[in-house]
Amino acid sequence: MNITHYQAEVLKTLGQSTRLKIIDFLRLGERCVCEIFPAIGEEQSNTSRHLNMMVSSGILFRRKEGVKIFYALKHPEIMEIVDLATLIMTREITGRHSLLQAA
C-alpha cells in the first residue's frame, strides 16, 4: 500500500460527525469510555464502535486500567487537521454569506 492509501484512511476516519465529537472531547486529554459516550450524546455501543475504528486507524490510543478503558489521541496533530477543516468551513460559510448579502 502507498502513502495516499493511508492518508485516505485517516481522512475517511475523521470524516464522520460522531468521531469528530469524540476527537473534540479528547482534545484536553485522556478520557474513560464511561465519560465519552454521555458527553457526546451517543449510545455506548455506537461510541465503542467508533472508538475501535479510530484505534484501528491509528488515531487513538487505548489503555485498560482495571475494568475501565481509557482513550487518548495517539497523534496530537490530528487536532491540527480538525482545526484546519473548521477554518476552511468557516471561511466557506462566510464567503457564501457575503455573496448572498451582495445579491
Non-local (6+) Cβ contacts of 14 within 8 A are 20, 23, 59, 78, 81, 82, 85
Q: What is the pLDDT of residues 58-99, one digit of tens each?
A: 999 999 999 999 999 999 999 999 999 999 999 998 887 776
What is the architecture, at CATH level 2, of domain 3-102? Orthogonal Bundle (1.10)
Digit-coded pLDDT (tens) for 31-56: 999 999 999 999 999 999 999 999 99
> Is the whole model's pTM more than 0.75, yes or no?
yes
CB half-sphere exposure, 8, CA atoms < 13 A = 5
Domain boundaries, the chain: 3-102
Q: What is the pLDDT of residue 94?
A: 84
